[in-house]
A and B are shown apart, each in its own frame.
Chain A
């Protein structure tokens, strides 16, 4: 009997040791992992041959990929004032655009600015981030251009959202923000515009406008600010 008792104890000890070996900190073993490991470079991979070991490398400054245009306004108070006065939304104010803007707003903006744009998002209510103004703040008097500019560069405590959104998405958010501002101020509902055929890449008025601004401002200033946008998509 005693012999059996000791055997059981030993068995339990062995079992315990084995169980402690199979811990969750390590991935499981694999049987003949022929094509498990990538031969090509993986996104976000770490490889010795790259600078800093990062597979994600920055594009050369000043280069422009297809389907993308640099933003011409500078990240300065003057650039802000310039954008506030001159920059207009190239997207038509349609229901689709507004709804998509609302979805994106709910993801990226509502967490601080609140679902109504009154600066009472959950982070403000929990007093994690303070000092979020309402969109009808008279001292700020936001316009389409300034909304886009601030989404692109950020302003003081707010960071840039250029990495998380594309140009078209930022303009959709701008539509929705202006709509919220209008609601907060108690203005009449803005009528929807006709859907135009042109998408943002082909919208000629924008490009004409851009070309003019490029000519006015000194050359080569806007392009350098484009890097972190491409870096994360």
Chain B
């Protein structure tokens, strides 16, 4: 992991010189968070509004019931077949015109038997698809197969239908955001207009006054306010004390934020959205970060974990797209994954040209601190969100906790150790409970604040 070099930070001398302004950056971050929340809400809206827009509008076929066929197809066939494009198996649309119905029945019920019997058509298709065996489906009756074929033979749904659904949903949710801006703009415009009108009225009135010979009495010059301020020694003293306090406040605030990367949100090589994966699809954190259970490191998942699902998911659903990120954008990011792992979606095959994805690490501890994920996650049973923030709502991950030593120690003082069901703690719990006179032991009482526990 290459980190940004801190030593040659001459460009930051400027920053240091006007350091106390940095404290304002907190405001900036807060605003970003707010906008992210807004984006997430917008996404929920689109999810609700777009639903069964691509309903079963297709004409009923003479083969059977397409609705029943759809559920059967989705649970049994869709792993290898798509109706309109080739996958592991061939595209099925139009198969009833090519093949005999009786042949289809026997093929679907047990294709291997048919091949073994030496049927010419069966052997030909088996050879064409690299001798990939299709599993047998003895549980399907002829009517079930009719239903499936009826679903498959439906004409391809017009893509426009789903697109318009998505767009209209997006328009609705975006309407709220735009209208606030418009109202603000109108208010500002009105204010400017009022000022201009006032100025013009004042000017014309003065013109009238000079024209009609009225002399406007001039106000006598008052003593400048700063002069009277300087002459009042008490005020000067008070404001000097106040100024010193303010300087001290900002100086202390500046020194305390050195080396803290809270809110660090770099741009990753692939726009991976935790919001979609962990939030919308409710994939468990440990599905991808599996080594958090067993290892010191909660590793970045390797690309084979990505391909477990994205072998079949090559593009996002239209309702996943948000205002900020379109469907084309997300599809492009999945294409980047395919590029990195060397997957050819057209031929459903690996090319063997791999290149690792250079993710940017966000949560960094200095090398002299030892942190072990497995003993916090598996033994301690701590929720991921406690340290990493609402990760399931993050479109782009940022560092939520400061990860300072004070933050660690604070949690060790407040958290109880999970003693029950853990043989290791049986004896030590008895002894320490006596020593501290408590039933529940915090990590600090177990020695979780000793230097060598984390710093060797």
Contacts and interface: CB of A to CB of B under 8 A. Distances in A.
Given A107-B284, A233-B294, A35 B366 contact: yes
A156 B80 CA distance: 7
B130 to A, nearest CB: 12
A132 B75 CA distance: 5
Contacts of A14: 18, 21
Given A53-B356, A131-B76, A26 B138 contact: no
A66 B251 CA distance: 56
A106 B287 CA distance: 9
A19 B25 contact: yes
Nearest to B6: A30
A18 B75 contact: no
Given A18-B21, A139-B139, A29 B311 contact: no
Interface stretch (A159-167, A173-181, A182-190, A193-201): A159-167
Contacts of B304: 159-160, 163, 228, 232
A19 B28 contact: yes
Interface stretch (A43-51, A83-91, A208-216, A218-226): A43-51
Interface string A23-48: 11111111101011111101111100
A29 B5 CA distance: 9
B290 A18 contact: no
Nearest to A123: B281
Interface string B356-371: 1010010010111000
Among A18, A42, A160, A165, find the residue whose CB has the most chain B CB atoms closer than 10 A: A18
Contact of B2 (A29, A46, A133): A46
B6 A123 contact: no
Contacts of A108: 284, 287, 290
B312 A165 contact: no
A23 B32 CA distance: 11
Contacts of A163: 290, 302, 304-305
Chain A interface size, under 10 / 10 to 19 / 20 to 34 / 35 or more: 35 or more
Contact of A165 (B29, B80, B290): B290
A156 to B, nearest CB: 6
Contact of A232 (B22, B75, B80, B291): B291
A36 B358 CA distance: 21
A35 B361 CA distance: 18
Contacts of B1: 42, 44-46
A133 B75 contact: yes
B263 A24 contact: yes
Contact of A29 (B73, B259, B308): B259
A164 B290 contact: yes
Contacts of B308: 154, 158-161
A124 interface: yes
B79 A28 contact: no
Interface stretch (B114-122, B264-272, B430-438): B264-272
A18 B16 CA distance: 10
A130 interface: yes
B53 interface: no
A21 interface: yes
A131 B259 contact: no
A111 B398 CA distance: 26
Interface of B: 1-4, 6-7, 9, 12, 14-15, 18, 21-22, 24-25, 27-29, 32, 73-81, 88, 132-133, 135-139, 257-261, 263-267, 280-284, 286-287, 290-291, 294-295, 297, 299-302, 304-305, 307-309, 311-313, 317, 355-356, 358, 361, 364, 366-368, 398
